[in-house]
Chain A
Amino acid sequence: MTSILLAVAFLAGIGLLLAALLILAERKILNYGPCKISINDGARELEVQGGASLLSGLAQNEIFVPSACGGRGSCAYCKVRVLEGGGPVGPVETPYLSPKELEENVRLSCQVKVRNDLLIAIPGELFAAKRYTGVLERKRPLTYDIVELRIRLQEPDGMDFLAGQYVQLESEPYKGRDAVMRAYSVSSAPSDRNHIELIIRRVPDGIMTTWVFDYLKEGQTVHFSGPYGEFRLSETDAPIVFIAGGSGMAPIYSILKDMKEKGIRRKAVYFFGALTQKDLFFIDDLKKLEEEHPWFAFVPALSSEPEGSDWKGKRGLITQIVKEALAEASTHEAYLCGSPGMIDACIKVLTEGNMPEEHIYYDKFT
């Protein structure tokens, strides 16, 4: 009996001793104390407790750097420039950073641990990004796999954003899936600052879209942060080419409504690519816009519509249609939104039409 007790006591004792030693060591060795973070040449100074990631340190101070993966280092949204004090680039980050970004000290803020005072640079718009709480006012299907969400903002009750920007929607945990954040462009006009609308396409087995399609109900509270993104109309007078398919419509729809409201009368043509007629949405609205406004032309094109159907519009891949319609594009500006494959193909076609690459703005789905 005593030997059993002795053994148990010994093991417990040595376990406790080692654990205490490790806790003490962590306090002593990994204690970095309070650290200062200076942002954009001192535009803002923060003080955070050292040891946590830069991303969470910024979030604690209400600076919401976009992040879709929740700090695991797999989405590469949370890039910021760490000018001083970031230490060597970690193995998790390297695959996501291009040689140019490495040169500019771009880092993944979720992988940078705050160990000393930092000097960082972030896009100024991130200061304006906040976390919002809203209520889902309407959820309506646009096609068989695309829904539109209309969210009324409650806290804060209004958001100022530019047409083309996106927000990070937060899902709730369900059926063993964790809460995640995903980026969606706002499709409503900035003039209605109490509401945002999002266009979401179902991704088979997607954590977020399954939640949106199967779990999210009208009247439910939703959280998101924003606005983010550089995708917006430039301030030139160049004629515009919009190219987008599926849910890539969102930022362009917002820009078009904004142009209409603000009286911007630049020439614009919108190439909307889809597979078949059942993938089309907002067609009537866009056709109406085309009829009412001489500056706007709408070109929907279907690539897989069955031969001999009642479709009267263009047929073929969107790149083909753009190529035919726009042989010479050197004075145009292009705004693309869609999958990386579609965007790369379109950039190729546009540059072949002599469009300078700096006139091509795009928003890639990742």
Chain B
Amino acid sequence: MYCAPSDKEEPMEKFTKLTGTAAPMPLVNIDTDMIIPKVFLKSIQRTGFGKNLFDEMRYNRDGSEIPDFVLNKPQYRDAEILVAGDNFGCGSSREHAPWALKDFGIKCVISTSFADIFYNNCFKNGILPIVLPQEDVDKLMDDAERGANAKLTIDLENQTIQGPDGGTITFEVDAFKKHCLMEGLDDIGLTMAKEASIDSFEAKAAQERPWV
């Protein structure tokens, strides 16, 4: 298995190790409309969505901040990790959701489960989604509640999360996705290198299913 280097305008950032503040969002079923309300989907760019991340939870109608919202609290304004309730990212396929998280500075989301499409979209944007059992998420949620003094260290290579009091949790991640994230690789280049397989598949399919 090998990967071709990225040739997008901005090569994808590599993810290896991250030490940062984790913000707690215990709510379950945080959906893509909460992450980035659709009124902000009208851009034809990939950047600039960070200021509207969690917009309806984060701001009053007049644009002022809702002080109680976790990312508005001083200790979480620079959070790079989210610890969230079950089924994070459910709803739409919009990649604007990971774009907004990334633009804000979130590089890792931890939950007991993620919606499929969102989970995939994260990897394509250099964000690491981590699935853990409930007890582990509860523990990290506790850590996150302690604010900026409680940084987590995510080590992708060794697949570990180190909490502020030294405890270590290990996590699973698909080997191929891990590799691409660590190397900052672009899928399209990778697939284009397999063009011969696509050509021969196409030729065979045209014989077998000419109506397609």
Q: A and B: partners?
A: no
